[in-house]
Amino acid sequence: MTHLSRLILIAILACALSLSIGSPVNAQKTPGPATPAINAVRAFYAFHLAHNKDFTLRNIQQRKRFLTPELYRLLAGEIARQAAYSKTHPDEAPDFEGDPLTDSQEYPDSFRMGNGDASGNVVKVTVTLLWSARTSRGLDKRDIVVEATKSGRVWLINDVINNQGTSLREDLKKPR
Residue spans of alpha helices (H) in the chain: 3-22, 35-50, 57-62, 69-88, 168-173
- pLDDT tops 90 at residue 169: yes
Give the Cα separation of 12 and 16 in Å (integer): 6
| pLDDT for the residue numbered 37 | 95
| Contact of 108 with 133, CB cutoff 8 Å | no
**DSSP-based three-state secondary structure for 167:** strand
What is the C-alpha separation between 147 and 123, in angstroms, rounded? Answer: 6
Q: Of the candidates 106, 110, 103, 105, which has an alpha carbon nearest to the alpha carbon of residue 50?
A: 110
| pLDDT band, residue 175 (cuts 50/70/90) | confident
* pLDDT one-digit tens code per residue, 9-67: 555 555 554 544 444 444 344 457 679 999 999 999 999 999 999 999 999 999 999 99
The pLDDT value given to residue 38:
96
Domains along the chain with CATH numbers: 33-173 (3.10.450.50)
Query: Using one digit for the tens of pLDDT, what is the confidence trace for 112-154?
Result: 999 999 998 999 999 999 998 776 666 789 999 999 999 999 9
98, 55 Cβ separation under 8 angstroms: yes
pTM of the entire predicted model: 0.77
Measure CA 155 to chain center: 11
CA 136 – CA 126 distance, rounded (Å): 25
pLDDT at position 22 = 46
Q: Which of 85-89, 147-151, 154-158 has the lowest mean pLDDT?
A: 85-89
Instruction: Tell me the one-letter amino acid at 81.
Output: R
